[in-house]
Chains A and B, each alone.
Chain A
Amino acid sequence: SAVISQKPSRDICQRGTSLTIQCQVDSQVTMMFWYRQQPGQSLTLIATANQGSEATYESGFVIDKFPISRPNLTFSTLTVSNMSPEDSSIYLCSPTRQGIFFGQGTRLTVV
């Protein structure tokens, strides 16, 4: 299994601001998935990030709103930009290498 550090674990943010979530893995992984779970909804994939290429976004998610960085095979960030209360969710990173693992999640509340 992989050791994953996701930060911050929670935050309360003002609308209109941005938050960057970090995901650090203790070993190199090929693919990094970013998910979110809005209240009462299922975990939904935002985008898939491979090193050295632009992230691939799922329908309904755009790069301007959720820019992702993947500078190397052990680290990735997801930014939630220009936040509104609808962005209040749990955000999870999921590095994948011979198995699917998850970070501890970031619980975001936008007020």
Chain B
Amino acid sequence: ILNVEQSPQSLHVQEGDSTNFTCSFPSSNFYALHWYRWETAKSPEALFVMTLNGDEKKKGRISATLNTKEGYSYLYIKGSQPEDSATYLCALHTGTASKLTFGTGTRLQVTL
């Protein structure tokens, strides 16, 4: 059983603050690490798919890094806005035909 862990479980920040969360995963049999943003009553939205050690990806104010050797990924949000409030999920992919193994998510709340 693969163990994908996310921390913190929840986070409450003020508008304008920058924040980051962690996803830890077993480094063996790594294929890809996915980040999703999931707002209530909506579909999880794909943010990044990361495959290479040292990968760094950016989408607007959100960026992510990947370390496959030590088994972790960081997600950063710069200048948080209320619309960033959502649950951020990471998921490990161990092969092209394999399922995703999800972490429990980090619930972010951004207030004015």
Contacts and interface: CB of A to CB of B under 8 A. Distances in A.
Interface of A: 4, 9, 31, 33, 35, 40-45, 48, 58, 92, 99-105, 107
Contact of B4 (A42, A48, A102): A42
B104 A100 contact: no
Contact of A105 (B34, B41, B100, B105): B41
Contacts of A44: 102
The size bracket of the interface on B is 10 to 19
A43 B100 CA distance: 9
Interface string B1-22: 0001000000000000000000
B41 A9 contact: yes
Contacts of A35: 102
Nearest to B46: A100
Interface in B40-82: 41-44, 46
A33 B104 contact: no
A42 B102 contact: yes
Please report whether the interface of chain A is mostly helix, strand, loop or mixed according to DSSP. Answer: loop
Nearest to B43: A102
Nearest to B9: A40
Contacts of B46: 99-101
Given A42-B89, A43-B89, 13 more contacts: A33-B99, A40-B104, A42-B103, A42-B104, A43-B102, A45-B99, A58-B99, A100-B34, A100-B100, A101-B43, A102-B43, A102-B44, A105-B42
